């Protein structure tokens, strides 16, 4: 009944045209705000999904590392225990250290990552080779797979007509005097491939075979910096982590892929909700228009309110009628905005209308990914704004005494 009254008030002619105009302006403002919120959230979802995809190609599902220090020793029995944990897939052993890669007068500080033959089963780095091949060589003839940033910095082009004369420098762990050349080990290496994933990786990491890094760092065959591995079911990562942490104890840290990049994803989430809060201010503007429209409608319907009260309608009944009027205005705007946002997002997904300029991105248009929970969140936000905006004029209509003679 309350909604029926609200609908009749909404579509009926008003004595003052301005009431209709203000009402439709508030509907339009809610439509624009709703569409903007959903579109922005969907674009952030698209970028987040893209970044997660890139990071999942580079990082393993899970990683084990020492809680203290950089290196650790692990026995075959320990490896067998780790492999027996439910959900653990292929293991890959890693030795990593900072190094300097030199090509004549050019040099770059890099993170040298020595990996075994199972690394391609826990990481999809080999799928991102843009020049040369994914070949890590042997201990005597190490092959280097570098990011495009490192390749540009030192001229380490793996397909150049004249192979670059590359030398790698690694710290000597047994050195006692760090002011001499004895503090570093050096070795001639060959560029075999170049990958391109994401700038943070491309400018930082170089890959080679595990035995070579162990040899250069004077590590034993069972000494590593981390163990990276794939999961049989990535959705059960938390349970696998819990089981592994219980098995390994406090001497080791077990991190999921998300935890390996916690600061990045936390920052992305903060940016997303900060923008959401800013755009929600558009709804506040719409709320002022709604307050004005409802206040003028209350003045317009003074006689109707007086008749309803004379017929026995309670203050709550009158208040609910105008609250429903506010919900009606917000509902029309919200549904229209959601439909508009859906159509725009679908057009962007299919036709890539808005391009990314610069030509240096791995995608050519803004990514978009819609989630049902975003639509529900926006609907809840609009409903909350509608309640707050409708309360004042609805309360005024309920408590104020109107006379049929006025």
Give me the average pLDDT of each 10-residue run along the chain (406 residues).
58 64 86 95 93 87 96 95 95 97 96 97 95 96 97 96 93 76 89 94 97 96 97 94 95 93 85 90 84 83 76 83 86 96 97 82 87 96 92 85 58
Phi, then psi, of 193 in degrees rounded to 5 = -160, 160
d(CA 220, CA 211): 9
Beta strands in 133-281 (DSSP E): 143-147, 166-171, 184-195, 205-209, 223-224, 226-231, 252-256
d(CA 389, CA 379): 15
Distance between CA 272 and CA 40 in Å, rounded? 8
- Nearest partner of 150 among 207, 203, 96, 196, judged by Cα: 203
**Beta strand spans in 6-152 (E):** 62-66, 72-73, 88-103, 106-115, 129-132, 143-147
The whole-number pLDDT of residue 175 equals 77
Beta-bridge partners for 201: none
- Tokens 């990481």 locate to 123
Please check whether residue 291 is in contact with residue 393, taking contact to mean a CB–CB distance below 8 angstroms: yes
Distance, in Å, from the CA atom of 94 to the CA atom of 215, rounded to the nearest integer, reads 13
CA angle 333, 335, 338 (to 5 degrees): 105
Give residue 335's pLDDT: 96
Spell 122-132 as b/e; 16+ CB within 10 A means b.
bbebbebbebb
Torsion of CA 25, 26, 27, 32, to 10 degrees: 90
List the structure tokens of 371: 């989630």
**pLDDT reported for residue 10:** 59
Instruction: Specify the DSSP class assigned to residue 37.
Output: H
Q: What angle do CA 96, 99, 102 make, to 5 degrees?
A: 140
Query: Which of 164, 169, 141 is closest to 154 using CA atoms?
Result: 164
Helices (H), 59-183: 76-84, 119-122, 148-154
Question: What whole-number distance in Å separates Cα of residue 214 and Cα of residue 74?
Answer: 14
Q: How far apart are the first and last CA of the chain?
A: 26
Collapsing DSSP to helix, strand or coil, 363 comes out as coil
């Amino acid at each position: 009944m309350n909604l029926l009254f609200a609908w009749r008030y909404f579509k009926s002619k008003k004595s003052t045209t301005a009431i209709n105009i203000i009402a439709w302006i508030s509907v339009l403002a809610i439509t624009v705000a709703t569409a903007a919120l959903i579109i922005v959230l969907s674009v952030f979802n698209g970028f987040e999904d893209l970044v997660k995809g890139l990071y999942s190609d580079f990082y393993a599902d899970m990683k084990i590392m020492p809680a203290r220090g950089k290196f650790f020793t692990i026995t075959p029995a320990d490896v067998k225990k780790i492999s027996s944990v439910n959900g653990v897939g292929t293991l890959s052993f890693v030795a990593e250290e900072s190094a300097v890669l030199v090509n004549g007068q050019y040099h770059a500080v890099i993170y040298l990552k020595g990996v075994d033959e199972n690394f391609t089963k826990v990481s999809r780095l080999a799928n991102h080779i843009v020049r040369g091949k994914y070949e890590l060589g042997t201990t005597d003839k190490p092959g280097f797979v570098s990011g495009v940033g490192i390749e540009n910095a030192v001229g380490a082009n793996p397909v150049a007509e004249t192979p670059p004369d590359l030398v790698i420098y690694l710290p000597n762990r047994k050195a006692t005097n760090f002011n001499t050349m004895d503090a570093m080990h050096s070795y001639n290496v060959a560029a075999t491939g170049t990958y391109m994933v994401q700038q943070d990786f491309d400018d930082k990491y170089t890959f080679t075979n595990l035995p070579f890094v162990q040899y250069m760092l004077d590590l034993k065959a069972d000494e590593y910096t981390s163990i990276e591995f794939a999961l049989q079911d990535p959705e059960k990562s938390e349970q696998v982590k819990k089981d592994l942490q219980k098995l390994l104890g406090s001497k080791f840290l077990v991190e999921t892929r998300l935890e390996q990049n916690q600061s990045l994803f936390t920052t992305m989430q903060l940016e997303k909700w900060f923008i959401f809060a800013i755009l929600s201010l558009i709804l506040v503007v719409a709320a002022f228009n709604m307050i004005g429209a409802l206040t003028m409608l209350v003045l317009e319907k003074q006689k109707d309110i007086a008749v309803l009260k004379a017929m026995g309608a309670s203050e709550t009944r009158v208040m609910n009628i105008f609250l429903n009027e506010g919900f009606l205005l917000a509902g029309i705007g919200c549904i229209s905005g959601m439909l508009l946002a859906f159509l725009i997002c679908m057009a962007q997904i299919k036709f890539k209308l808005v391009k990314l300029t610069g030509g240096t991105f791995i995608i050519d248009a803004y990514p978009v990914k819609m989630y049902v929970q975003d639509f529900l969140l926006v609907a809840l936000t609009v409903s909350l704004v509608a309640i707050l905006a409708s309360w004042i004029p609805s309360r005024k209509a309920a408590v104020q005494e109107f006379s049929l003679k006025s």
